[in-house]
Structure 1
């Protein structure tokens, strides 16, 4: 009896410290935890970027729980030796931080945008910049009122250096997407929007959504867009939607992001949870999202040749729990790399071989 108990305890201990998942999806996709021990119990909203030397830098917010005053932006670096221990990137005094976004501009600078405030309706945008691939960072720069920066997902940096950054605003009763555009590496910005789903395009009835509880707040709209390039000047954004829409929504620009169409619901479901997209070098688009209208499991990958019609090709997670707020990039080796929230306790990392995307 004692022997069995000892073996059980040993297995539990090993599973708590093991950096790699016991099971991986098919097609050569590999998954691992960025960390198994950290100075914070809760983590969410990750981002990642591949550096010039091939290392991967990830960031997320971590603290006691979402919205707690100790929530700061943390990071980790993945080298050929594996992931570093989590390290503090930035903290705002006595106020929580939210939704970091990492990306590089063509002048070689590495940017970290984030938000801080007691809640989403009180956010202020802020950023750090690194000129040495994330080894050292500038002091935090707090952005002017109304400028939040990329709200969750990486911006699209066009070949000419223009930054097309998806952002959004959440009020008490309505959400809307906006696009901020900069032609001077983030020194100044010009905004387009609001981008919304017109009433005529709203799905009716909503997809399989249970009725609201009496007294529940009814919010409608779309937020947290991810921008990709489909053609020479044709850009498309994909956005998270509220429960009355229940689908991933898309809008288009045909002038490199200066003006945008209305958004329309697509065939892919959305449970009011964050998504991300990446345009591949071969012209296809990959979405990482929760393929459900309720909850935040499963977490899935889908691919499209035209940016509108998607085929799911992998399920990263399908167990009970929360697997959410993903980020995805295509690496210099053409393979895909993703991070996501794992049950609000850890940040998971996945490598998706390009050969598995079909």
Structure 2
């Protein structure tokens, strides 16, 4: 397993997503600036050219002076033609977010101006779209809604489906998905689609499935895998197994030490309408380590193989290793990026055989 630091421009860096291009280049996008939720947060990306070992200097791809731009994802519609999707919100108010899109027709070297992809406000994305066996594009998304605390917790998940290359979209709700967000979707060999969720309640990762190309979905059910109210991502490997990267901890294993996100200034709670309640619908403050990768050979029902990617050994406090993304190249090598201490994006490569050891 090899580790690298992706170059960055600003002190706060978070939420990477990887895209392996058809020309062999590897792109990583994330958001950076002074602090999450601030108006200077913008979308960045770096490129690892095919055959090279050093990532390019970070490039800023957006810059709305009035909104915090977050959660970027990349998608290659056809060779060389890319989408960059991301959210843009007012301050920490995720219920004001819109999903924006920029397009490139030269493998991401030049980009169109930003446009709002959907009219909906409060819509968020995190994990990338997938192309289904019927050529539809499925984009996981979720609506941010204030809970009784006045902050996040009552969010619910949907999928956006397009049969015309993204010109028009149909929305399908995931039943009983309150508090379940960041769905990561994969299509299995039998054409079933499975999705895995981050859980605002910080207990377990949840799983749903669709047998009709995303038109209807099962009620999500918990796995044995823990979740700490932080992001996860899943990938179907060339071997047919599923690989899932996540923080191997939840509120039961490590009770939270604070009651709001680490980037939230509690002094401003009253100013933004946040109040304390006895049993909030979202649990914050569970540590975000260790980061692990697990394998499943039964469509994500069980995950018998597990390997640690990053632990807190030798580091003070409760260091954060979070928001993973993973892709696999033609040689079978697995590429992983994740947030390291919110200071920079760390890039890791690992062979499937290393996970099985």
- Bin the TM-score by the shorter chain: 0.7 to 0.9
Q: Does 1:354 align with 2:352?
A: yes
| Whole-angstrom distance in 1 between the partners of 2:122 and 2:144 | 12
| Whole-angstrom distance in 2 between the partners of 1:71 and 1:347 | 15
Q: Which residue of 1 aligns with 2:181?
A: 223
Q: Choose which of 186, 208, 216 in structure 2 pairs with 1:251.
A: 208
Q: Choose which of 165, 170, 176 in structure 1 pairs with 2:156.
A: 176
Relative to the length of structure 1, the TM-score reads: 0.81
- Runs of at least 4 residues off by over 4 Å: 147-150
Q: Which residue of 2 aligns with 1:16?
A: none
Unaligned runs of 5+ in 1: 1-28, 198-219
Q: Does 1:40 align with 2:14?
A: no
TM superposition shift of 1:332: 2.6
Q: Which residue of 2 aligns with 1:303?
A: 295
TM superposition shift of 1:233: 2.6
- Deviation string 1:181-232 (CA, Å, 9 cap, x unpaired) is 11111111111113325xxxxxxxxxxxxxxxxxxxxxx6100100011233
Q: Report matched runs for 1:174-253 at 5 Å.
A: 174-197=154-177, 221-243=179-201, 246-253=203-210
TM superposition shift of 1:311: 2.4
TM superposition shift of 1:159: 3.8
Name the SS for the 1:127 alignment partner.
Answer: strand
Q: Choose which of 86, 97, 107 in structure 2 pairs with 1:114.
A: 86
Q: Is the 8 A contact 1:115 1:148 kept in 2?
A: no
Q: Is the 8 A contact 1:126 1:148 kept in 2?
A: no
Q: Choose which of 30, 33, 37 in structure 1 pairs with 2:2.
A: 30
Size of the alignment, in residue pairs? Answer: 305
Larger radius of gyration: 1
Q: Report matched runs for 1:267-346 at 5 Å.
A: 267-293=224-250, 294-306=286-298, 307-319=300-312, 320-346=318-344
| Whole-angstrom distance in 2 between the partners of 1:149 and 1:339 | 24
Q: Which residue of 1 aligns with 2:265?
A: none
- Structure having the larger proportion of residues in helix: 1
Q: Does 1:96 align with 2:61?
A: no
Name the SS for the 1:154 alignment partner.
Answer: coil
Unaligned runs of 5+ in 2: 148-153, 251-285, 313-317
Q: Is the 8 A contact 2:94 2:122 kept in 1?
A: no
TM superposition shift of 1:255: 0.8
Name the SS for the 2:174 alignment partner.
Answer: strand
Q: Is the 8 A contact 1:300 1:312 kept in 2?
A: no
Q: Is the 8 A contact 1:277 1:287 kept in 2?
A: yes
Name the SS for the 2:40 alignment partner.
Answer: coil
| Whole-angstrom distance in 2 between the partners of 1:132 and 1:34 | 22
Using a 3 Å threshold, how does the CA distance of structure 1 residues 269 and 340 change in structure 2: closer, same or farther? Answer: same
Q: Is the 8 A contact 2:16 2:28 kept in 1?
A: yes
Q: Is the 8 A contact 1:339 1:347 kept in 2?
A: yes
Using a 3 Å threshold, how does the CA distance of structure 1 residues 249 and 225 change in structure 2: closer, same or farther? Answer: same
